Structure 1
Amino acid sequence: MTLSETRATRVPAFNRLWAAETLSVLGQQVALLALPLIAAVTLHATPAQMGLLVAMETAPLLLFSLIAGVWIDQRPRRPVLIWTDLLRAAALLVVPLTALLGVLRLEVLYGVAFVVGTLSVFFNVAYQSLLPDLVPKTALTDANSKLETSRSGAEVLGPGLGGGLIGLVGAVAGVWVNIGTFLASAAFLGGIRVPEQIQAPQTRTSLGQQLREGLHYVWSHPLIRPLVLCASTLNFAQGLLDALLVLHLSRDLGLTPAQIGLVYMGGNIGFVGGALLAERVATWLGLGRAAQLAALVAGVGLLLVPLSSLLGPLAIPGLIAARLLFGFGAIIFSVQHVTLRQTITPRAFQGRMHASVRFFAGGVVPLGALLGGVVGQQFGVGTALVLAGGVGCTAWLWVWRSGVPGVASAEAV
């Protein structure tokens, strides 16, 4: 096996996809702070309303993931990626325009979050389905690691830049950064010129039949199912936490936008470390054991978030450390999970497989956000955050009781 067969950067089309994804994530990190801060500080949202905002952004994972998979399996992915970037930029433009006109309300944020979330479902399914057409199978682990590394780097820089920017010009103005990065991402994707392998179904089947095929493939697979259940548990816990974290940091702890950005920025260093070390950890422990241990580390990191808030003057370093631990584990788990399912899934099922995984694993995020908002409203934000950590610490058990720990590498399956 030559170096060119294992290094994704030898493929120019991958480099364009890599740049587009990095820019897109960098801008989203600014919006990740801007929209909740607009809701919490400018529009004085309650915990339940904050939970609803996160639920509106993530509900499309539950509503549209399966349809997106069937639809994307039957057409070229590159145009889908370009149009979803352009339409997400247009949707976000509504926020500064309504603010300028003096009609910005929570309902506007809910609508924008839902539209952007819907388009992101199609973008993410399309780019993961396109990747096997861009690089050889032997380079998939390297490609996924690089995508996660750059995503993690953007997640490190984005909150810090976003927090400082929002502190200077305000949360509404910060949304313009995300608009610009979506447009730049579309420009990079427009330069990809690689033939895509689109396999039309051999027989005409109904939409329902195709949806059932994708769901059955994921749910019946002895390796994919436990990984999806583990991811679902972690994502449900993260939905609980994300619904209230910005509210907790800004109101309960009194942090400024710049300090909140620092918490996110410092914690996201864990994502970078995990992405850089994912391949090495898999080689050292084996893919399956690496996934199991990483899920446990991520769960412990979630639990340490509310506990760190009790440290008084050391709360910010404690929060950074807790988020670092979560990010480190979550990214290592994600790289192993994605690489394994891309390798073992037939090409004709790639879109439906990724969509079904997002349905199961991502569809629980809005449910977690809604529950987090209700628990935070009724019993306090701190209680909801502790609940999130407790749920996250159970995720690894799904993998422990399966055949996944015995998998040495994706190629060996």
Structure 2
Amino acid sequence: MNLTGHVTFQKLWAAQAVSAFGARITREGLPIMAVVTLGAGAATLGVLAAVASGAALVAALAAGPFIDRHRRRPLLIGADLLRAAVLITIPLAAWLGVLTLPQVFAAAALVAAASVAFDIASHSYLPSIIGKAELIDGNSRLAATESVAEVGGPALAGALFQWLSAPIALAANAVTYLASAGFLAAIRTPEAAPEPSPPEHWTREVTEGFRLAWSDARVRPLLLMESAQGLFGGVFSALYVLFALRTLGLTPAMLGLAIGAGGIGALAGAFIAPRLARRLGHGRAIVLAMTGAALAVLITPFAPAAPVTGLAALIVSQVIGDALAVAGGVLTASLRQTLLPQAVLGRVAGAFHAGAGAMAVIGALGGGLLGQAIGPRAALLVAALGFLIPPLIGALSPLRDLGESVAVD
């Protein structure tokens, strides 16, 4: 089926597009606001990143079983509305002069939890509206939209934070979530109700996704790889903004430009993913993409401590790293959706989010402390070297032998 004429997919795509664009404003806005407006340091940014990651972890563990038992579209709409309501409190508090770090922490936690629920539900919803043969194409288009948002969102956010203020910039994201909910509400294709299943003990509920993922030798390395990426990504989430603004001397607008430039590479990565799978085989393409992305990340800690040349180094790292990371992410998501039954996709997606989220909490807290102890540059170098571990896991697993045909079975 040609997805260009697929009305239901087009509406889902539109919903994802507007929320993805605005989400970049929130992602960059909360830490920049903490640094510029509220005077946060490395340890505080580590706590902020850990709070968001911790909330994502809890949501991932709880949401998977719930999503598998309910229709996905109403859950997607609910997650959008919740994020909009939370974000609108930031500019209101700033206007009233009562904005504090605890409120920023609370907003980060709630938005992160709702975002994880949205991602899990979307991952489970997609295979129900398109066939397995179109999964790579569908995921590539969704990733391409994310990449366009990566280009425009941070650049706009950086300009807004410099010209206006972070709280006001965050208000724009609430509008995008409302628009996303509207697109989802416009979908008229009936969604079949999942087969009823009795609730199990909560301990089995939260661990079922891990058992399902671990039982498949082809999915198991993907779980380990994503968890390892979460660990070292947590360090970057805690220190990247601080490193760019204080160590390299970038302005918020320059930081937005650097992050936005990565979207250009990410856009290319979304389109090369199917070609990599056809040329190298599904498993080898994932390993190669993650290896290249890890090498590109190594550029960041060696960026010169000067605004112009430092910005240039970050742009190169972002463009190459994001291109290959997105290609690997598209292939990984498509592989999970193909190998596993739709009835368990929510739980397995929850396990993946939880595994990465738990490690991200450790990475964010450890990264903040490590940044204070040895400096942001050295801490980012440690994390950058760690990104070489995930492709090594894949290269030593059955993943390397999976051919391109797996994606279209």
Q: Match for 2:345 among 338, 347, 350?
A: 350
SS in 1 for 2:93: helix
In 2, are the aligned partners of 1:46 and 1:377 still within 8 Å (CA)?
A: no
In 1, are the aligned partners of 2:263 and 2:322 still within 8 Å (CA)?
A: yes
Partner of 2:61: 66
- What are structure 1's unaligned runs of at least 5 residues? none
Cα distance in 2 for partners of 1:214, 1:175 equals 34
Cα distance in 2 for partners of 1:204, 1:240 equals 37
Partner of 2:160: 165
Q: Cα 1:24–1:120, aligned 2, differ >3 Å: closer, same or farther?
A: same
Partner of 2:396: 401
Q: Match for 1:212 among 178, 183, 207?
A: 207
Q: How does 1:5-404 map to 2 (within 5 A)?
A: 7-201=2-196, 205-309=200-304, 313-404=308-399
The alpha-carbon deviation at position 412 of structure 1 amounts to 6.5
Cα distance in 2 for partners of 1:194, 1:127 equals 15
Q: Cα 1:204–1:125, aligned 2, differ >3 Å: closer, same or farther?
A: closer
After superposition, the C-alpha distances for 1:197-235 in whole angstroms (9 at most, x for unaligned) are 333345553333333332211122101111121122222
Q: CA RMSD in A?
A: 1.6
After superposition, the C-alpha distances for 1:341-385 in whole angstroms (9 at most, x for unaligned) are 101111221111111111123332222111111101222111211
The alpha-carbon deviation at position 112 of structure 1 amounts to 0.5
The alpha-carbon deviation at position 90 of structure 1 amounts to 0.7
After superposition, the C-alpha distances for 1:50-75 in whole angstroms (9 at most, x for unaligned) are 01111111212322212101001111
The worse-fitting range, judged by mean Cα deviation, of 81-90 and 358-367 is 358-367
Code of the residue aligned with 2:304 in structure 1: it is S
After superposition, the C-alpha distances for 1:26-80 in whole angstroms (9 at most, x for unaligned) are 0011122211111001111110100111111121232221210100111111111
In 1, are the aligned partners of 2:249 and 2:307 still within 8 Å (CA)?
A: no
Q: Scaled by the length of structure 1, what TM-score is found?
A: 0.95
- What are structure 2's unaligned runs of at least 5 residues? none
The worse-fitting range, judged by mean Cα deviation, of 54-63 and 290-299 is 54-63
SS in 1 for 2:98: coil
In 2, are the aligned partners of 1:8 and 1:140 still within 8 Å (CA)?
A: no
In 1, are the aligned partners of 2:124 and 2:345 still within 8 Å (CA)?
A: yes
Cα distance in 2 for partners of 1:362, 1:196 equals 30
Cα distance in 2 for partners of 1:194, 1:406 equals 38
Code of the residue aligned with 2:185 in structure 1: it is G
In 2, are the aligned partners of 1:23 and 1:185 still within 8 Å (CA)?
A: yes
In 1, are the aligned partners of 2:250 and 2:307 still within 8 Å (CA)?
A: no
Q: Cα 1:9–1:245, aligned 2, differ >3 Å: closer, same or farther?
A: same
In 2, are the aligned partners of 1:58 and 1:365 still within 8 Å (CA)?
A: yes
Code of the residue aligned with 1:371 in structure 2: it is G
The alpha-carbon deviation at position 236 of structure 1 amounts to 1.6
Q: Cα 1:8–1:106, aligned 2, differ >3 Å: closer, same or farther?
A: same
After superposition, the C-alpha distances for 1:102-145 in whole angstroms (9 at most, x for unaligned) are 11111111010001111111111111111011111111111000
Cα distance in 2 for partners of 1:242, 1:291 equals 23
Cα distance in 1 for partners of 2:192, 2:57 equals 27
Q: Scaled by the length of structure 2, what TM-score is found?
A: 0.96
The alpha-carbon deviation at position 23 of structure 1 amounts to 0.8
The alpha-carbon deviation at position 309 of structure 1 amounts to 3.4
Identity percentage over the alignment?
Answer: 37
Cα distance in 1 for partners of 2:338, 2:45 equals 38
